[in-house]
Amino acid sequence: MKQDIIIAEDLGRSLQEAIGRVEHDRLFVLVDTTTHNLCWPVISGLPAMSGAQIISIPPTDDAKTLETLSAVWTALQRGGATRHSLMVNLGGGMVTDLGGFAASTFKRGMAYINIPTTLLSQVDASVGGKTGINFGGLKNEIGVFNCASSVILSSIFLRTLDSANLLSGYAEMLKHGLLTTDGELNRLLGFDITSPNYGTMQQMVAKSVSIKEDIVEHDPTEKGIRKALNLGHTAGHAMESLALEEGRTVLHGYAVAWGLVMELYLSVCKCGFPSMEMQRIASYVREHYGRFFYECRHYDRLYEFMCHDKKNEGGHINFTLLGGVGDIRINQVATRQEIEKMLDYYRES
């Protein structure tokens, strides 16, 4: 299930090779309106894109819906797509998630290639074979595991991002650092993400992707150690869902960063994670990501969102926690009281 991850020094050549490896009768490119304007011009003139049919959908996670998915299926059908066709997903995590799901289910499955255009999608959403849409007010509720034939990573697209979207992706890189070594974490905390060197960043992206790849290769369908990648996500997804419900949409990586602080606090309480290290991460997150505001009256709703987390088993809320940097503890059950103390800590700190 290991994907072909291509760090593109020459985007045109890399794209030509990736497409050439997949026999296909028709070529489709899925974009959202933002990547249509900013990213499609980067590749539209390349020989590999000759004859490609464009499918454009609305931007942002709000469009990651059954209705949008249906529109993509309809466009494929009208464009004459078959199970032997190929789709290139050019965009951030919403496009690669929804596009991967659309390709995986149309005609019972056609091949697809991801070209992630945000830092978040490069280090997270486009790698590892998770596809899906939001449903019933819950993040990624419907989807399948199915890897892209290739994932092409290019720093060209990172230059189109604003600071907020760079930081959003960087939160997932911080998570990967916490899952590995002190050296990798320190490297990430010391990098100037507010004025980045893009050459250095491409090397760091390659390292971050390799960390995720190694975990996914050992556990492609999330039965065990792949749950490590959910660090920060049980609490983070709950905040993201609350924000979505209240019409104050937040970037996914920001929710992950806030979730990391919460779950590191829980790690201190339950697994002996060093308190000083937790405080160092919390300070970094406050400085770069600000805070997510909620009140005691939101506790029931946040808890309810956590109850819907896909990692849960036997009616218990499961967290991925740490005993230390790189000391991963999956399937850690927390009580309602422990979760409320975690929510208190974040709200009051």
Q: What is the pLDDT of residue 213?
A: 87
In the numeric block, the tokens 């070594």 are attached to 181
Condensed to tens digits (0 to 9), the pLDDT of residues 113-154 reads 999 999 999 998 778 889 999 999 888 899 999 999 999 999
Q: How many domains does the chain have?
A: 2
pLDDT at 315 (0 to 100) = 75
pLDDT grade for 2, boundaries at 50, 70 and 90: low
Query: Which pLDDT tens digit goes with each residue over 147-167?
Result: 999 999 998 999 889 999 999
Last residue of a domain, one of 125, 145, 161: 161
Indicate if 143 and 212 belong to the same structural domain: no
Say if CB 168 and CB 119 are below 8 A apart.
Answer: yes
CATH number at residue 337: 1.20.1090.10
Query: 140 and 46 in one domain?
Result: yes
- Domain final residue pick, 161, 176, 197: 161
pLDDT of 139 reads 83
Mean pLDDT, range 101-109, rounded to an integer: 97
Query: Percent of the chain beyond pLDDT 90?
Result: 84
221 in the same domain as 118: no
* Residues 178, 153 within the same domain: no
Which of 26-35, 93-102, 242-251, 336-345 has the least mean pLDDT? 242-251
Write out the residue range of the structural domain in which residue 132 sits.
4-161
pLDDT-derived band at 106, boundaries 50, 70, 90: very high
The mean pLDDT value for 302-324 works out to 88
Given 117, 145, 161, the domain boundary residue is 161
Same domain, 122 and 184: no
pLDDT at residue 349, rounded to an integer: 86
Q: Do 88 and 235 have their domain in common?
A: no
DSSP 238-305: HHHHHHHHTT----HHHHHHHHHHHHHHHHHHHH---HHHHHHHHHHHHHHH------GGGHHHHHHH
Tell me, yes or no, whether 233 and 126 share the same domain.
Answer: no
Model pLDDT for residues 17-33, shown as the tens digit of each residue:
999 999 999 999 999 99
**Cβ atoms of 175 and 215 closer than 8 Å:** no
Q: What is the pLDDT of residue 230?
A: 94
DSSP one-letter code for 345: H
Q: What is the mean pLDDT of the chain?
A: 94
The verdict on 270 and 326 lying in the same domain is yes
- Band of pLDDT at residue 72, cut at 50, 70 and 90: very high
Q: Are residues 327 and 209 in the same domain?
A: yes
Which of 23, 29, 19 lies closest to 54, judged by CA? 29
Instruction: Please tell me the distance from the alpha carbon of residue 250 to that of residue 245, in angstroms, as a whole number.
Output: 11
Per the structure block, which two tokens stand in for 311?
């990692």
Distance of CA 11 to the CA centre of its chain: 22
pLDDT for the residue numbered 61:
87
315 with 298, same domain? yes
| Beta carbons within 10 angstroms of residue 269's beta carbon | 17
- What number of H helices and E strands is found in the chain? 14, 10
Banded pLDDT at 287 (limits 50, 70, 90)? very high
Domain identity same for 128 and 171: no
The structure's pTM equals 0.87
Domain shared by 172 and 102, yes or no = no
The CATH number of whichever domain residue 131 belongs to comes to 3.40.50.1970
237: its two tokens: 């997804």
Task: Give the DSSP H or E segment for 116.
Answer: strand 111-116
